[in-house]
A and B are shown apart, each in its own frame.
Chain A
């Protein structure tokens, strides 16, 4: 079964602190996405990770991918209130990216609340 598991599901942080969100998935994939969703809004693409060892950073967020461990992390540095949102990882389990349909399996999301 294709599964994507995130933890924690809820995260309450103080401003200025660091934390990591984990995304585990059940079978081989080289294509993982991180999204941000604000309440009542759609998904905002944050990072696309396309290979083992990929690391991407944007502002206070850094994402990495370890395909051998089937694990991606989203690290938050010196959190600020504006980062409060729900963060989703999504994995594309297509066996052949050039020849089979793309569809994403999402984790349940991590609801992040950053407090002053």
Chain B
């Protein structure tokens, strides 16, 4: 079975631009979470979505937004990019939205802001 997939793999953007990252969960998984991993740090939770509803939000500015589609895929949008947004963005999927369910991580999207 296919695991979590993310696109694109790599992305280079300029400060002030906007970016959209995409994630497809494991088949049958209804929850998607997004994490940001800055170089040398552990991943930080950004959002969790389940059945198209936001279930959790981390401590990130309003420039970050996300949504989930009826097929459970998800997009993460970041507006007005800053240099500090350069990071590996990880998507994780799980069967349900509560802590009972293990999250499975995708390969990530490497975003570089210049």
Residues from chain A with Cβ under 8 Å of B100 in the complex = 97-98, 102
Bitwise interface map of B from 45 to 75 toward A, beta carbon under 8 Å scored 1, else 0? 1001000000110100000000000000000
Residues from chain B with Cβ under 8 Å of A107 in the complex = 42
Q: Are B98 and A102 in contact, with the CB atoms below 8 A?
A: yes
Known: A42-B105, A42-B107, A45-B104. A101 touches B98 (CB 8 A): yes
Residues from chain B with Cβ under 8 Å of A31 in the complex = 99
Query: In the complex, A7 Cα to B109 Cα: how many Å?
Result: 28
Contact-size category for B: 20 to 34
Contact-size category for A: 20 to 34
Segment from A12-20, A60-68, A87-95 that makes contact with B:
A87-95
Give A37's nearest chain B residue, CB to CB. B37
B residues within 8 Å of A by Cβ? 33, 35, 40-45, 48, 55-56, 58, 90, 94, 97-108, 110
A residues within 8 Å of B by Cβ? 4, 31, 33, 35, 40-43, 45, 48, 88, 90, 92, 94, 96-109
